[in-house]
Chains A and B, each alone.
Chain A
Amino acid sequence: MVTKTDETQLNRLENQVDNGGGGAWEYLCLVKKLKVRRPEKVLKHGLSILNDPKKRSSLGPDEWTLYEQVSIAAMDCQCLDVAKDCIKVLQKKFPESKRVGRLEAILLEAKGLWAEAEKAYSGLLEDNPLDQVLHKRRVSIAKAQGDYSGAIDLLNKYLEIFMADHDAWRELAEIYISLQMYKQAAFCYEELILSQPTVPLHHLAYADVLYTLGGLENLQTAKKYYASTIDLTGGKNTRALFGLCLCTSAIAQLTKGRNKEDKEGPELQSLAAAALEKDYKQRAPGKLPLLASALRSLKIS
Chain B
Amino acid sequence: MGELRYEISQDAYIKLVLHAQKHKAAAVNGVLIGRVSPRNDDVVEVTDSVPLFHSHLGLLPNLEISLILIEEHYSAQGLFIVGYFHANERYDDAELNGVAKNIGDHICRYFPQAAVLLLDSKKLEALPKKIDQRPVMQLYIRDASKNWKLVGSDSGSRLVTKEPAANTLLLDYITTEKWQGIVDFNDHLDDLSKDWLNPELFK
With A207-B61, A208-B60 known, 11 other A-B pairs at CB within 8 A are: A178-B58, A211-B59, A212-B58, A238-B192, A242-B62, A242-B189, A283-B192, A283-B193, A291-B69, A294-B65, A294-B72
* Residues of chain B whose beta carbon lies under 8 Å from any beta carbon of chain A: 25, 27, 55-62, 64-65, 68-69, 72-73, 89-90, 92-93, 97-99, 102, 188-193, 195
Bound together, the chains give a CA A283 to CA B102 distance in angstroms of 33
Minimum C-beta distance from B180 to chain A (A): 11
> A180 vs B98: C-alpha distance in the bound complex, in angstroms?
7
A51 at the B interface (CB under 8 A): no
**Residue of B60, B62, B93, B98 most packed against chain A (CB within 10 A):** B60
- Asked if B57 contacts A178 (CB within 8 A), the reply is yes
Q: Does A191 contact B (CB under 8 A)?
A: no
Question: 1/0 contact trace for A265-286 toward B, CB 8 Å?
Answer: 0000000000000011011101
Could you tell me if B61 and A180 are in contact, using CB atoms closer than 8 angstroms? Answer: no
Given the contacts A280-B192, A294-B69, A177 and B93 also touching, CB distance less than 8 Å: no
A/B interface sample: 7 pairs, CB < 8 A: A4-B190, A178-B57, A180-B102, A207-B61, A239-B61, A283-B192, A287-B192
A58 on the interface (CB 8 Å rule)? no
A297 at the interface (CB under 8 A from B): yes
- List the interface of chain A (C-beta within 8 A of B): 4, 37, 144, 146, 174, 177-180, 182, 205, 207-209, 211-212, 238-239, 242-243, 246, 279-280, 282-284, 286-287, 290-291, 293-294, 297-298
Question: A37 to B25, Cβ gap below 8 A?
Answer: yes
Once the chains bind, are B189 and A174 in contact (CB under 8 Å)? Answer: no
Known: A178-B99, A179-B98, A279-B192. A294 touches B68 (CB 8 A): yes
Q: In the complex, are the beta carbons of B193 and A180 less than 8 A apart?
A: no
Cα A294 to Cα B68 with chains together (Å): 6
Across the two chains, which residue of chain B brings its CB closest to A112?
Answer: B92
| Chain A hits for B55, CB < 8 A | 174
**Which residues of the other chain, B, contact A180 by a CB distance below 8 angstroms?**
58, 98-99, 102
B192 and A212 contact, CB distance less than 8 A: no
How far does the alpha carbon of A288 sit from the alpha carbon of B17 in the complex, in Å?
29
Q: Residues of B contacting A179 with CB < 8 Å? A: 58, 98
Measured CB to CB, the nearest residue on chain B to A174 is B56
Contact residues in B for A178 (Cβ distance below 8 Å): 27, 57-58, 89, 97, 99
Task: Let me know if A211 and B90 touch, CB within 8 A.
Answer: no
* Cα(A297)–Cα(B59), bound, Å: 21
CB contacts (< 8 Å) of A284 on chain B: these are 188, 192-193, 195
Are the C-beta atoms of B72 and A293 separated by less than 8 Å? yes
A287 CA to B65 CA, complexed, in Å: 13
Taking a contact as CB atoms under 8 Å apart, the answer to whether A297 and B68 are in contact is: yes
How distant is the Cα of A212 from the Cα of B98 in the complex, in angstroms? 14
Cβ of A212 and Cβ of B65 under 8 Å apart? no
Query: CA of A265 to CA of B62 in the docked complex: distance in angstroms?
Result: 24
If the complex has contacts A290-B69, A291-B69, are A146 and B59 also in contact, measured as CB distance less than 8 A? no
